Structure 1
Amino acid sequence: MTRKPQQRSIATRARVLDAARELSQRHGLELVTADAVAREAGVAKGTVFAHFGDMDGLLSHVLLDRLNALHATAAVEPVEPDRLDDPVGLILTRMMALIAVITDSPTILRLFLDNIGVTKPNCAEAFVETLDRLDADLAGFLTVWQTSPTLQPPLRKDRTPAEMVDGLIAFMIHGAILLKSHQLTDRSILEVRLRRHVEAFLLTD
């Protein structure tokens, strides 16, 4: 039975996106071109643009996949306060994971800033939803930490988890910019610096 045109279009779009994902994993995002995606997907170059508008549109979907993967990872890592001896370290692991995604290449960082409305006037709805979930992951952990009678060191109680997440996001974006502007080139140094900022911001005196 012949598939309907709409079904064929959906299947073609999925094939193009899968090709971009595969190429980005194999060669890095900077080498993902419309020609390469078209060859990998077995379609005409014009088909790539017909479905995604331009390469920014296509690569934004690849970036979104990577951000969703961070949420999926957090969702399968339950926090057990009695077994957690370094809550700041857990926060830093999640922050550095996001920084790693958005600094994978200059293109990725630009697309991230475009899609969250920093460098373009509108936020992409799918990015807002994904980032909201990542924010909720952090806020959920901060709530557990703030209300735990045993988790040490104690988390400040004069700010809500949502307010603290705002500060952590600012640290992450600043860290990403430091890396991509080459003000810092060693990620381990950035992590040490972020730990100091996070401790000063989150912990009680």
Structure 2
Amino acid sequence: MAGKPQKRTERTRERILEAARELFEEHGYEATSVDAVAARAGVAKATVFAHFSDKASLLIAGKIHRLDALGADMRKAIDTDPTDVPARYLVGVFRPWLALYRQDPEFARLFLSQSTLNDGPWTRHFLDVCAQLETNAARAVDRLLGEGALRPELDPATVTQGVLAFYYHMIVGHSLGALPDAAAQERLFDALIDTWMTGCRPAAGP
């Protein structure tokens, strides 16, 4: 019988999370209150806070499974994808992340303001995913360096930081409307990566 309370707790958490997803989609993150989430889920506001420390945690929790999947896919691509077109490979491991943040501008803003997040299990998980992204970026650059695909005079640590900085720049650019669509964003990213390659140009299109 000990499992029944735990199952009820899990069902309550999923009901709260589903209510939050629906309201964020219908009204946007900023316009959605925790009171509204509680009412949609049919629970007390205190119950929401028992599962999620704040509204940001609700937004993170709604995306965390996709973030974990993206991280796993990125690691797999770094370890196994062919690099016949090295520049294409490097932009390819980042494009799914950029697509996620294009699709959900409010989550993108949350990603860009990590330092303002309150501590909690969902926040820590999210920050761990962000740290893994940086680690994977370094692994991708190291792979290209080992295969002679990067210009030999480049420092791989500097290239890694450059890729990550440009990645953040493109998320900001899309959020502000300076890079309004996927094609504009990806062309810019491709052009940057291409400058570091040993004579290889990225393939066009997704």
Tell me if TM exceeds 0.5: yes
Q: Structure 2: which 5+ residue stretches go unaligned?
A: 200-206
Aligned-pair distance for 1:73? 1.5
1:203 paired residue number: 197
User: How far apart, CA to CA, are the structure 1 residues paired with 2:151 and 2:136?
Assistant: 18
1:140 matched to 2:134: no
Aligned-pair distance for 1:96? 2.5
1:55 paired residue number: 55
Give the 3-state SS of the residue equivalent to 1:185 in structure 2: coil
2:165 paired residue number: 170
Matches within 5 A, 1:64-143: 64-77=64-77, 79-80=79-80, 83-115=82-114, 117=115, 120=116, 124-143=123-142
Distance 1:170 1:29, change over 3 A: farther
* Matched AA of 1:197: L
Distance 1:50 1:18, change over 3 A: same
TM-score (norm 1): 0.73
1:189 paired residue number: 184
* Matched AA of 1:109: A
Deviations 1:155-176 (A, max 9, x none): 0344454432211111111111
Structure 2 residue aligned with 1:30, among 28, 31, 43?
28
Deviations 1:16-42 (A, max 9, x none): 335545x489x4783794467546755
Give the 3-state SS of the residue equivalent to 1:77 in structure 2: helix
Q: What is the aligned-residue RMSD (CA, Å)?
A: 3.5
Distance 1:57 1:15, change over 3 A: same
Contact 1:30 1:105 in 2 (8 A): no
Contact 1:88 1:195 in 2 (8 A): yes
User: How far apart, CA to CA, are the structure 2 residues paired with 1:188 and 1:24?
Assistant: 30
* Matched AA of 1:103: R
User: How far apart, CA to CA, are the structure 2 residues paired with 1:29 and 1:157?
Assistant: 50
Contact 1:29 1:105 in 2 (8 A): no
User: How far apart, CA to CA, are the structure 1 residues paired with 2:83 and 2:198?
Assistant: 18
TM-score (norm 2): 0.72
* Matched AA of 1:51: H
Larger RCO (CA under 8 A, 6+ residues apart): 2
* Matched AA of 2:197: L
Aligned-pair distance for 1:181? 0.8
User: How far apart, CA to CA, are the structure 1 residues paired with 2:64 and 2:87?
Assistant: 26
Q: Structure 1: which 5+ residue stretches go unaligned?
A: none
Aligned-pair distance for 1:44? 3.6
User: How far apart, CA to CA, are the structure 2 residues paired with 1:29 and 1:172?
Assistant: 28
Aligned residues: 194
Aligned-pair identity in percent equals 31
Aligned-pair distance for 1:84? 2.7
